[in-house]
Structure 1
Amino acid sequence: MKKLIFILLFSLVCSNGTTFSLSRDYEILLHVKNTQIDDKNKSLNDWLPNTDHNPCNWRGITCDSRNKSVVSIDLTETGIYGDFPSNFCHIPTLQNLSLATNFLGNAISSHSMLPCSHLHFLNISDNLFVGALPDFNSEIFELRVLDATGNNFSGDIPASFGRLPKLNVLNLSNNLFTGDIPVSLGQFPQLKVLILSGNLFTGTIPSFLGNLSELTYFELAHTESMKPGPLPSELGNLTKLEFLYLANINLIGSIPDSIGNLISIKNFDLSQNSLSGKIPETISCMKDLEQIELYNNNLSGEIPQGLTNLPNLFLLDLSQNALTGKLSEEIAAMNLSILHLNDNFLSGEVPESLASNSNLKDLKLFNNSFSGKLPKDLGKNSSIQELDVSTNNFIGELPKFLCQKKKLQRLVTFKNRFSGPMPNEYGECDSLHYVRIENNEFSGSVPPRFWNLPKLNTVIMDHNKFEGSVSSSISRAKGIEKLVLAGNRFSGEFPAGVCEHVELVLIDIGNNRFTGEVPTCITGLKKLQKLKMQENMFTGKIPGNVTSWTELTELNLSHNLLSSSIPPELGKLPDLIYLDLSVNSLTGKIPVELTNLKLNQFDVSDNKLSGEVPSGFNHEVYLSGLMGNPGLCSNVMKTLNPCSKHRRFSVVAIVVLSAILVLIFLSVLWFLKKKSKSFVGKSKRAFMTTAFQRVGFNEEDIVPFLTNENLIGRGGSGQVYKVKVKTGQIVAVKKLWGGGTHKPDTESEFKSEIETLGRIRHANIVKLLFCCSCDDFRILVYEFMENGSLGDVLHEGKFVELDWSKRFGIALGAAKGLAYLHHDCVPAIVHRDVKSNNILLDHDFVPRVADFGLAKTLQHEGNEGAMSRVAGSYGYIAPEYGYTLKVTEKSDVYSYGVVLMELITGKRPNDSCFGENKDIVKWVTEIALSTTHEGGGSGNIGRGYDCVITQIVDPRLNLDTCDYEEVEKVLNVALLCTSAFPISRPSMRKVVELLKDQKWALPKP
């Protein structure tokens, strides 16, 4: 009986102890909710008082079923605010605490971490914590996992990390840590995972990391601030390492042979560095390798044969190096699913054994010197999704099995010597959406069903020997955006079914044998930008109902058999800059409406046109485009027949007319005498003038008014004036000084402006109206921009109501203007001085890119892109430009990214508030980096953007919720554009797409 009583008493005591423990935890949790965190999103609504004092059913709480105590708190993505809730750690049984992806902020003190010494797992990632990491003292020794990625932690990593002997996982990526990687990080005896990517370290990879003998995962990538240095040979000591990711951290030198000691490695990524020398043969010792990524380096020599000894390898990317040799039979026979060997110097034939690889999905061999035929069974045993073998010396037919598994999406074979017909099997390839097979020797008819493949959006197959007709079934597939068939032998009528493709932006079917009439329905394609149908045998009329062609920039119907008259409606196309109707049988007059167009190419030569040339085309620059029309006449251009009036004048009429002429002459003399002597002197100068638009003024209406009263700006090369001419139009006049030591630069700038702006037309590029030169100076006359430059509005106290919607419109418009220069001009034009002062704003704040004095055209041949001196403006110059003097479109992209940051912040590129040796790019990047997911040197701000943007946004803006989302998007684009590596920057065409895409966000790597 006594024994039974003892057991009952013992059970009661234990039960009371358990109840007390759970009750204590319950009180702590409620206290933290009520005092230390702010549950704005009501995610912890179930954390409510209850009669049992039991929190085990609350959201995020896990209890030990035996001891009835809280062991885990997981509040990931609950949307809580506040400081670090250290009181959670007063629960003595708590082992795991996860507060990831919330809005917790401010600094964490070492004192607040003391109660957490018993934790095994601590995750505070993706919050807004700032300052230094807390100093871990000797009392904290139980921590196994510490994840602090995606915050604003800064300064050096504390040396006290060496006092965490049981640590298994350490993730400090995507913060603002600086300095060297501390020695303490090489002293973890049990560390298995170390992630340090996306910080601002300035040192090199330390050799002492080779002491982490238990390490299985090491990531230190996209940290462009690191000092150039070698890959330490000591890393070969990490024999348990399975994942190594060291991309984009300025590695130089050769890959050490010791790397072969990584016998457990599966993923080996040293891409986007400056490594040189050969790939070591010891790589064959890495038997477990699944992925090798060494692209974007300076590696050379042959591909090691040892790669063939890696049985598990499925991804091999050695692209964009200087490797030589050939694709060996052994490598082709490997079980690779992704093989990228593009942009090397590889040659020889592709082994037949590659076709036996059942895993192959992605094959890229472009920009090499491969020859021979592709394996005939390629695709028979594997589900190939992308094939890119462009720019090689391949011959023969395409493999007919390439789409046998119905997975092929991209077929890219341009610039080879492939021949024969397109395999009939490709007509059944419903997965295909992108085809570029131009500049080969393909022949025969295209399979009829190919034309209506459901996912096709790009078809570029020009300059081959294809023949036959384009099937009317093309109407069934309605997603084609680009259709380029030029330079083939297609015949028959061009099918009206093409009009069903409402997304078409480009049709180029020139130099074929098409007959019949131009389909009238083609004028309904609202997104069409270029229509090229030259050198065919089209007959009939030019379609006249063209009101839907609001985006058309180029129309070429030359060298056909078109008849009737030129439709005057063509003169209403707002963006048309290229019009070629030459070598047809067109009749009638040249419509005067065409003079409304802002053309840089106008050709109606070799037709049967008649009548007087409209005044807008009465200029020598248009003469070649008018020749071959015997019926045309002009009293201005002497090469053409004069226009006779065939009228009889009486003697009285002649006398009256003579008297009127004498009176006019005397009036002019009197007017000139009234002018100042300085003007008289100037008017006698020998001027050379050129009008690029239809203008109603000349140099005499401009020069006298270049006075101090009309001066509105000064620059290094001259002055700018505001002049109202006799037509009432207000123009801006840039006066460039000649003579003296500055004459060569002035002449170069003058020529660059007229050569560039004189031949281009775009809604977001300033219009050059007129130019004039004499011995003393040069003048350039532009359309006047009422709101001045973007720099004036943002920085010079000329602030007007520039809300976010206007700023976004300016960003998008300027991007469109630069994209036109880079992608639509032939050859491409690089501005070289993109800045806010060179973006002008009209009365509606529509932007115009201006000042082309430093602009250069790119020929992409040899070293023509190299300049003799650095050009541009301080704060906008891309980092690579200063030491390479290499001009590319990516230099403009960087400068444009700086302008985006100006629009967001309202600050100058070199504002003193940034601190010493820091510009707007570094300032914005450091602030945004805490929530950056690295990708090619830039990132996506993602969750928490509102807090980040609040720190940098122009205080003059009053943003609402939707504005914040758009500012985030623009900031993401700015970070991409200002990447330190040109290859990581998007093209301007891509920038336009990103800005217009309402749902865009950068993907995670």
Structure 2
Amino acid sequence: MEGQNKLFVKNTTIAISHSPSLSLSKQQCFFCYYFSLFHSTQQGQSLNQEGLYLQGVKPGFDDPDGVFSTWNDRDENPCNWHRVTCDSVTQSVNSLDLSSANIAGPFPSVLCRLANLTSLSLYNNSVNSTLPENISDCRSLEHLNLAQNLLTGEIPKSLAELPNLKHLDLAGNNFSGEIPATFGGFRQLEVLSLVANLLDGEIPVFIGNVSTLKQLNLSYNPFSPGRIPPELGNLTNLEALWLTGCNLMGPIPDSLGRLGRLIDLDLALNDLVGPVPSSLTELSSVVQIELYNNSLTGELPATGWSNMTKLRLLDASMNELTGTIPDELCSLSLESLNLYENQFQGKLPENLAKSPNLYELRLFSNRLTGELPKDLGKNSPLMWVDVSSNFFFSGEIPATLCEKGALKELLMIHNSFSGEIPASLGDCRKLSRVRFGYNNFSGAVPARLWGLPRVYLLELTHNSFSGEIAKTIAGAANLSSLIISRNRFSGDIPAEIGWLENLVEFTGSDNQFTGSLPASIVNLGQLERLDLHNNSLSSEIPSGIHSWKKINDINLADNDFSGNIPEEIGSLMVLNYLDLSGNQFSGKIPLGLQNLKLNQLNLSSNRLSGNIPPLYAKEVYKNSFLGNPGLCGDIAGLCDAKNGAKNMGYVWLLRSIFVLAGLVFIVGVVWFYLKYRNFKKAKRAIDKSKWTLMSFHKLGFGEHEILDCLDEDNVIGSGSSGKVYKVVLSNGEAVAVKKLWVGSKTVEESGDVEKGPVLNNGFETEVETLGKIRHKNIVKLLCCCTARDCKLLVYEYMPNGSLGDLLRTRLADFGVAKAVDAIGKGAKSMSVIAGSCGYIAPEYAYTLRVNEKSDIYSFGVVLLELVTGRLPVDPEFGEKDLVKWVCTTLDQKGLDHVLDPKLDSCFKEEICKVLHIGLLCTSPLPINRPSMRRVVKMLQEVGGESQSKTAKDGKLTPYYYEDASDRGSVA
């Protein structure tokens, strides 16, 4: 025993001294530890050799959760230690499971001295450094799981020397380089998972030599563009083949049809072309096929589907497939069918209604015609139905759609459906999202449908519905958006509408509503948009609208409202759009309107009188006041003769007083004034002559008009790179002007533009990037103005403020990384778009580079702001930012100390899911952050609408796996 201990200490010391990942102090720690063990054994302790090996693991790891606390060196053997399993006969260690133990440190090579260790799992920890080549010393290993760690470098080629290895999972690390060529020599390997690493090169053909493989998962690696190796068809034992997001191109090889035992095939998120090969219909064991988001063309195989008796889930969405949906396919017992965003045409086969398990049907954005199967839903527990944006032109909604009571979403917008809504849908208590807009529906809406308790979106716009809003709407406690414009609804708006505490949008324009607005409507504290224009509503606006603290848009135009415009409107500080035109309002315009930064104001065609508030008494607002004969202001053409004469008398009286008072003063200053004015004119002429304008769009203004409006009264924002001004031009158009900060501010007494050296990098980058971009979600850069000592960027004006306003902070300049990369600037330093403190991804500190994952991190911070109600940086956090504060607080105090107490606790489950998404997005490792497409879908599913599916890569929970429905609906 003594000799063994000496040899053990000696060998361990040698191993440590050659480990590049350990510091000298840690090596000394190891040596001291083993020295103490040696002396303890000399004093009569009886821990066997395998126990000593396991004790050698402890010093190499940080163990904040104390997972090693039961590993007592006074025990005879380690068989009763936590997470250690021994053979019942030999008492030899055969399994070590340290998964999700929150340990951090290098891979413990000492474990390879456990001669009978067959299973090792370090899944979901912070195992770092490289995986050593001497991993091949673990000769007995059958199961090795190192997924979800921080391992780097190349995958050791020596892994293929493990003679008994059956399960190898290295997913979710940072391994780089190519798959080792030795991997074609595995003799017993059944599972190979390399998901979400940084592997390059093409998917190698030698993988086809590992005939024992049952699961092959190479998804989410940045492989070089290449084809699917036809040799994979040799893996006849394969049950799962996942090549999602592997940069694949070319056709799907026919050889895959030879995989007779295949259960799950996932080739999504690639650039595969050509038709779906008919050989795939020979996969008689397959349950799930994922082909979404490729460039596949042609028609689906017309026959052969009857061979696939076990097929339950098919997703071929987001391709360019044509032809009809095969009747033979729809005769299978499908559970989920996703064919959206293709070019399918013809009728939807009636056989689809016979499937006893169909829960998901998404066919939107195709060219389907005819009607829906009459018995759709009669035999199926339908949960999600989306047939929007097709050419369905006849037939009514099948009354059986919610026969099983499971329906959650029903989307049918942009078709030509007709008839009435079946009364049976009013009993569909789980419905949360209903969109019937842009069809030819008619008749009254069933009373029970108005009051469905879980519906948060009810859209009926652009149809011919009639009747009244039923009082049963009081039961729709979850309703957020009620969109019923462009119909024939009539009668009073019921008082029960004011009971909907969660209502954010009420759009009922272009109907036949009468009577007054119910007094209860002022109780809608969450209301952001109220649009009831073009009805026959009358009476006064009820008092109490000051409670609409979040209202952004009020449109009551073209009704018969009367009385005064409420003074309370001036307290609605978020209000941006106000249209009260075409009514019978009288009295004065409230002066409080000057408190608002309205982007659009229309009070025309009423009976208003008196003076226009000075802020709006400008020519640019003239159209806002036309048709009010009693109004007067310094705008030509608004006053009638009587009021004009009366008001002009007052004006002349005031002018006379000022003239008399001024005579005493003017004699002494006239000379100085004239000289100063001439100097100013000359100076401005010189200054303006120095400006150069570069336009990116057709403009109706020049640089001089911009320069005249850059005063402090027009400042609407200030950030890390400059001030932003709102400039209203003479043509009525509003633009936003960003004046970049200068290096040293020396402002002249005259108030002209600030002087000093300018930060050219930010200006040139922003102009070069945004000037070339045409995208609906990116603010439009109209032009730039430059002078020697100042630079201006002129953007289209976005009237609704910024997301930062809603989050109570100045948001980061994130979201630019992808655009920069698109014009070949991906390798540039992030210093030019560094953004705001708290939003910057941690890898910037050592790479100074940006990519899409940097933007994902920033978006994740926004999500954390939303659920915590806190700023991205705060003195309360100390040296931490919001991300670190959330993680620390979750560990130490729990969930309730993280969530914003102002959030409604009845949505705690959904809030927790958003929190989880935010944490995924802010993962320290960029490779572990989801794509934005996945983030969007996860947020769409937050309400729990999507049925969980089994995770394929051992990395993500089932809820967050990028599954068949991961692309969402255009609806």
State TM-score, norm by structure 2: 0.73
- Cα distance change on mapping 1:669 and 1:780 into 2, 3 Å: farther
Q: Tell me which residue corresponds to 1:633.
A: 632
Contact 1:162/1:184 (<8 A) preserved: yes
1:60 aligned residue: 83
Structure 1 distance, partners of 2:281, 2:882, is 60
Give the drift of 1:289: 1.0
List aligned pairs for 1:579-658, cutoff 5 A. Answer: 579-641=578-640, 643-645=644-646
Alpha-carbon shift at residue 227 of structure 1 (Å): 1.3
Q: Say which of 260, 269, 281 aligns to 1:263.
A: 260
Partner of residue 292, structure 1: 289
Judging changes above 3 Å, is the alpha-carbon distance between structure 1 residues 973 and 663 closer, same or farther for their aligned structure 2 residues? farther
Q: Are 1:250 and 2:247 matched, yes or no?
A: yes
Structure 1 residues 455-506: Cα deviation after superposition (integer angstroms, max 9, x where no partner): 1111111111111111111112311011111111111111111211111110
The correspondence of residues 577-976 of structure 1 with structure 2, limited to 5 A, is 577-641=576-640, 643-645=644-646, 659-660=660-661, 669-675=670-676, 678-682=679-683, 738-739=691-692, 743-744=694-695, 768-770=725-727, 830-831=778-779, 853=794, 877-879=816-818, 882-883=821-822, 903=838, 913-914=846-847, 919-921=849-851, 961-962=885-886, 964=888, 972-973=920-921
The answer as to whether partners of 1:271 and 1:295 remain within 8 angstroms in 2 is yes
| Preserved CA contact (<8 Å) 2:737 2:793 | no
Task: Decide whether the 8 Å contact of 1:140 with 1:163 is kept in 2.
Answer: no
Taking a change above 3 Å as real, the CA distance of residues 287 and 896 of structure 1, as seen in their structure-2 partners, is farther
Q: Secondary structure at the match of 2:397?
A: coil
Query: Pairwise mapping of residues 69-80 of structure 1 onto structure 2 (< 5 A)?
Result: 69=91
Number of corresponding residues: 805
Q: In 2, distance between residues paired with 1:650 and 1:333?
A: 85
Opposite residue 95 of structure 1, the aligned amino acid is N
Residue 543 (str. 1) matches residue 542 (str. 2)? yes
Match of 2:300 among 298, 303, 306: 303
Partner of 2:446: 447
Map of 2:402 onto structure 1: 403
Contact 1:736 1:779 in 2 (8 A): no
Instruction: Answer yes or no: is the 8 Å Cα contact 1:829–1:856 preserved in 2.
Output: no
Aligned residue identity for 2:107: I
* 8 Å contact kept, 1:973–1:991: no
Deviations 1:72-94 (A, max 9, x none): xxxxxxxxxxxxxxxxxxxxx21
Q: Distance in 2 between matches of 1:648 and 1:275?
A: 80
The 3-state SS of whatever aligns with 1:522 is helix
Instruction: Give the root-mean-square deviation of aligned CA atoms.
Output: 4.9
Question: Which residue does the alignment assign to 2:809?
Answer: none
- How far the C-alpha of 1:389 sits from its partner, in A, is 0.1
| Structure 1 residue matching 2:545: 3-state secondary structure | coil
Task: Give the C-alpha shift of residue 143 in structure 1.
Answer: 1.3
How many angstroms apart in 2 are the aligned matches of 1:403 and 1:666? 88
CA–CA distance in 1 between the matches of 2:887 and 2:136?
48
Is the contact made by 1:829 and 1:855 (CA closer than 8 Å) also made in structure 2?
no
| Displacement after TM superposition at 1:312 (Å) | 0.8
SS in 2 for 1:103: coil
Q: Secondary structure at the match of 1:150?
A: coil
1:864-907 superposed Cα distances (whole Å, 9 cap, x missing partner): xxxxxxxxx99974446655899xxxx9xx99998678635598
The one-letter code of the counterpart of 2:562 is S
| 151, 170, 173: which one aligns with 1:172 | 170
C-alpha contact 1:905 1:954 (8 A) present in aligned 2: no
- Maintained 8 Å contact 1:904/1:971: no
1:99 is aligned to 98
Cα drift, residue 230 of structure 1: 1.0
Equivalent position of 1:506 in the other structure: 505
Q: Does the CA-based 8 Å contact 2:696-2:781 persist in structure 1? A: no
Gaps of 5+ in 2: 1-43, 746-756, 760-769, 783-790, 800-811, 865-872, 890-897, 899-914, 945-955, 963-971
2:260 and 2:463 map into 1 onto residues whose CA distance is 50
Kindly state the Cα deviation for residue 268 of structure 1 after the two structures are TM-superposed: 0.6
Partner of residue 326, structure 1: 324
Deviation at 1:339, TM superposition (A): 0.4
- Contact 2:405/2:428 (8 A) holds in 1: yes
Q: 1:10-49 residue pairs with structure 2 within 5 A?
A: 24=48, 28=52, 31=55, 40-42=64-66
Unpaired runs of at least 5, structure 1: 1-19, 70-92, 686-702, 707-734, 789-795, 799-820, 822-826, 835-849, 859-872, 929-934, 941-948, 995-999
Q: Which deviates more from structure 2 when the two are superposed, residues 597-606 or residues 638-647? A: 638-647
Q: State how 1:395-544 maps to structure 2 within 5 Å.
A: 395=393, 396-544=395-543
Name the counterpart of 2:20: none
Aligned to 1:208: 206
Q: Kindly tell me: are residues 657 and 476 of structure 1, through their superposed partners in 2, closer, same or farther at Cα, counting changes over 3 Å?
A: closer
Q: Which has the higher contact order (CA 8 A, sep 6+)?
A: 1
Q: What is the SS of the residue equivalent to 1:903?
A: coil
1:43-95: CA deviation from partner (whole Å, max 9, x where unpaired): 56655688x9576555434454444x2xxxxxxxxxxxxxxxxxxxxxxx211
Flag the 1:884–1:26 CA change in 2: closer, same or farther, 3 A: closer
Q: Which amino acid aligns with 1:418?
A: F
Q: 1:974 to 1:682 in 2, by over 3 A?
A: farther
Is 2:238 aligned against 1:241? yes
Structure 2 partner of 1:121: 119
- Tell me: CA distance 1:621–1:829, structure 2 relative to 1, closer, same or farther (3 Å): farther
Shift of 1:23: 5.8
Whole-Å Cα distance in 2 between the matches of residues 283 and 897 of structure 1? Answer: 50
Could you tell me which residue of structure 1 aligns to residue 18 of structure 2? none
Structure 2 vs 1, CA of residues 1003 and 908 (structure 1 numbering), >3 Å: closer, same or farther? closer
State the Cα distance separating 1:335 from its structure 2 match: 1.1
Q: Distance in 2 between matches of 1:638 and 1:977?
A: 63
C-alpha contact (below 8 Å) 1:877/1:895 kept by paired residues: no
Write out per-residue CA displacement over residues 543-587 of structure 1, whole angstroms, 9 at most, x where no aligned residue. Answer: 231221111000011111111111111011010010011111111
Distance 1:461 1:649 in 2: 54
CA distance in 1, matches of 2:113, 2:544: 79
Q: Tell me how far apart the structure 1 counterparts of residues 69 and 262 of structure 2 sit (CA, whole Å).
A: 47
Deviation at 1:309, TM superposition (A): 2.8
Structure 1 distance, partners of 2:651, 2:384, is: 82
- Which amino acid in the other structure matches residue 449 of structure 2? F
User: Aligned partners of 1:591, 1:416: CA distance in 2, in Å?
Assistant: 45
Identity across aligned pairs (percent)? Answer: 32
Shift of 1:738: 3.1
Secondary structure in 2 matching 1:282:
helix
C-alpha spacing 1:563/1:140, structure 2 compared with 1 (3 Å): closer
Counterpart amino acid of 2:421?
A: M
1:720 alignment counterpart: none
CA distance in 2, matches of 1:450, 1:671: 77
Task: Name the residue aligned to 1:807.
Answer: none
Change beyond 3 A, Cα 1:749–1:175: farther
Written as runs of structure 1 = structure 2, the 5 A alignment for 1:224-235 is 225-235=222-232
Deviates more, 1:744-753 or 1:441-450: 744-753
> Is residue 554–residue 579 contact of structure 2 (8 Å, CA) maintained in 1?
yes
CA distance in 1: counterparts of 2:459 and 2:412, whole angstroms: 10
